């Protein structure tokens, strides 16, 4: 059974493992989508894979009511221009979403950078035109980045824009995917993510234990972007035992 504990004023649901974390998060999503159409802001990476596997099984009942907005997508430099990575590249997040969630189903989905990659905030306008985000699934990186690639030092007022991927994250992603990480990405901003009505933050595994502890106990500040989540009024913090292992120490 999951338990709830409070650290630094934040109520955290601690689950036995990644599977239980994924089941609890999926139940919240299914309950919400049961009664209404839903705009979802979604990440990639290893953290949400359990949730996506469970949601994919329910695809037929979910996809007609859901519109997915991805948080980020890689970009590559070709000659002197930077452009969105090809959707057929195995490292692209459009491929990832197809593999883990969408399959061959017809799904309404958006990715930042399709419209253009030059103008900050274009994607935010598209999200607003669709009525905003009802539910955001979110994760954190080992350096505290969150809502996509918002690295340490990112302004809390940031919106969707082009960023250069930092070396540490490149190496982590390379190890996890076995593929070379591109140099650039379009990512939503911290402000974009925080405008979601409701957030499910998932943190899993021992490699996230140090950063989760910092995100909970350190002052809310731009050097640790994920601390901004403590300002959100409707964020479910759902973490597994391994990620929670350094809380309270
Ligand atoms: P991960 O990535 O889910 O693969 O740990 C999280 C992130 O870097 O945001």
Q: Using the structure block, give the residue that is written with the tokens 């649901």.
A: 13
Per-residue pLDDT reduced to its tens digit, 45-88: 999 999 999 999 998 899 999 999 999 999 999 888 999 999 99
Residue 177 scores a pLDDT above 80: yes
Band (115; pLDDT cuts 50, 70, 90): confident
> Residue 77 C-alpha to ligand 1 middle, in angstroms?
23
How far is residue 235's CA from residue 31's CA, in Å, rounded to a whole number?
16
Mean pLDDT of the chain: 95
How far is residue 173's CA from residue 154's CA, in Å, rounded to a whole number?
20
Name the token pair of 248: 């309270």
> Residue 139 C-alpha to ligand 1 middle, in angstroms?
6
Residue 121 scores a pLDDT above 90: no
How far is residue 128's CA from residue 115's CA, in Å, rounded to a whole number?
15
Band (117; pLDDT cuts 50, 70, 90): confident
pLDDT at 249: 73
Per-residue pLDDT reduced to its tens digit, 206-230: 999 999 999 999 999 999 999 999 9
Cα 168 to Cα 90, 144, 173: the distances in Å are 21, 11, 9
Ligand 1 contacts CB of residue 141 (under 6 A): yes
Q: Return the DSSP state at 150.
A: B
Ligand 1 contacts CB of residue 50 (under 6 A): no
> Residue 50 C-alpha to ligand 1 middle, in angstroms?
13
Name the token pair of 90: 């195995």
């Amino acid at each position: 059974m999951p338990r709830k504990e409070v650290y630094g004023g934040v109520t955290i649901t601690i689950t036995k493992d990644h599977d239980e974390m994924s089941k609890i998060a999926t139940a919240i999503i299914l309950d919400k989508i049961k009664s209404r159409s839903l705009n979802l802001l979604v990440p990639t990476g290893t953290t949400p894979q359990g949730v996506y596997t469970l949601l994919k099984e329910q695809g037929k009942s979910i996809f007609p009511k859901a519109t997915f907005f991805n948080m980020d997508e890689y970009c590559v430099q070709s000659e002197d221009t930077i452009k969105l990575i090809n959707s057929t590249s195995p490292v692209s997040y459009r491929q990832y979403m197809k593999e883990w969630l969408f399959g061959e189903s017809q799904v309404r989905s958006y990715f930042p950078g399709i419209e253009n990659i030059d103008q900050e905030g274009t994607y935010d306008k598209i999200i607003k035109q669709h009525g905003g985000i009802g539910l955001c699934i979110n994760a954190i990186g080992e350096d505290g980045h969150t809502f996509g690639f918002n690295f340490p030092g990112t302004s809390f007022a940031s919106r969707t824009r082009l960023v250069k991927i930092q070396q540490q994250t490149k190496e982590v992603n390379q190890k996890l995917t076995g593929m070379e990480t591109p140099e650039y990405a379009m990512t939503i901003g911290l402000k974009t993510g925080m405008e979601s009505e409701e957030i499910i933050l998932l943190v899993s595994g021992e490699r996230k234990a140090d950063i989760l502890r910092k995100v909970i106990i350190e002052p809310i500040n731009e050097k640790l972007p994920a601390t901004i989540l403590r300002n959100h009024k409707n964020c479910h913090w759902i973490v597994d035992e391994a990620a929670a292992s350094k809380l309270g120490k």
